[in-house]
Amino acid sequence: MKLYFFTTFAIAITTLFIACSDDASSNPSSSDSTSTNLAHSEGSFTDPRDGQVYKTTTIGTQTWMAQNLNYATASSYCYDKDFASCSKYGRLYTWAAAVGQSDDSCGYGKLCVFTEKVQGVCPPDWHIPALAEFETLFSAMGNPTSIGKRLKSSSGWSYKGSGNDKYGFSALPAGYRYVNGHFLDQGTSTFFWCSETDGNYFACSMNIIFSNDYVTISFESKSDGFSVRCVKD
């Protein structure tokens, strides 16, 4: 795993664990002080492509999907090939699939660089978040040491790792699909693609795990299967 470090946010190399329990309580020892009185509002919209309805949350100046995308496309997967998992956690996409390209053209070993907003697999009027858009979200939320806690859903995370879902983002521990086809860490982690790459082999992701109240940014293999959260244009 290749990690890039940012001075504003707590970034760490984390060891991932396979989920073996499901505890609805959040970590009582963590601090959740904030430096802003951040307003948010919740809503919903319908994906015109397949009629699925998604919750949304507006946090500061941004409107985000409050559920993981579950739009079926090539190189997207349900965890353990279980359609019920897709209904709950959304699908897991390779980076190429997330940005709306084939693995042959933008996958592992292929260089694809985007200078404009990338709709990719997102519905019309929505797009794959750029790293700067995640950073805008983090900055609006204040204290970087508790951003993960406020983004996590208030139940569903193993090992007492749930958050307080303060702004309705409702990040669930969807786990991921490794390049070899194995599915790992549902219940303990979630990874969201962003639109930037680091050369031919790695692409940007925002990560949350059960044991941390902060978030991490890393560059992971384009062939991994991660979740997608779209942000409104």
DSSP assigned state of 136: H
CB 217 within 8 A of CB 11: yes
Q: What is the pTM of this model?
A: 0.86
The reported pLDDT for the residue numbered 214 is 97
Q: Which two tokens stand for residue 111?
A: 């260089």
Domain extents in the chain: 42-232
| Mean pLDDT, rounded, for 84-97 | 98
* H helix and E strand count, the chain: 5, 13
End-to-end CA distance of the chain: 31
What confidence tens digit (pLDDT) does each residue in 50-73 have? 999 999 999 999 999 999 999 999
pLDDT band at 36 (very low <50, low <70, confident <90, very high): low
The reported pLDDT for the residue numbered 39 is 75
Higher pLDDT among residues 5 and 125, named by residue: 125
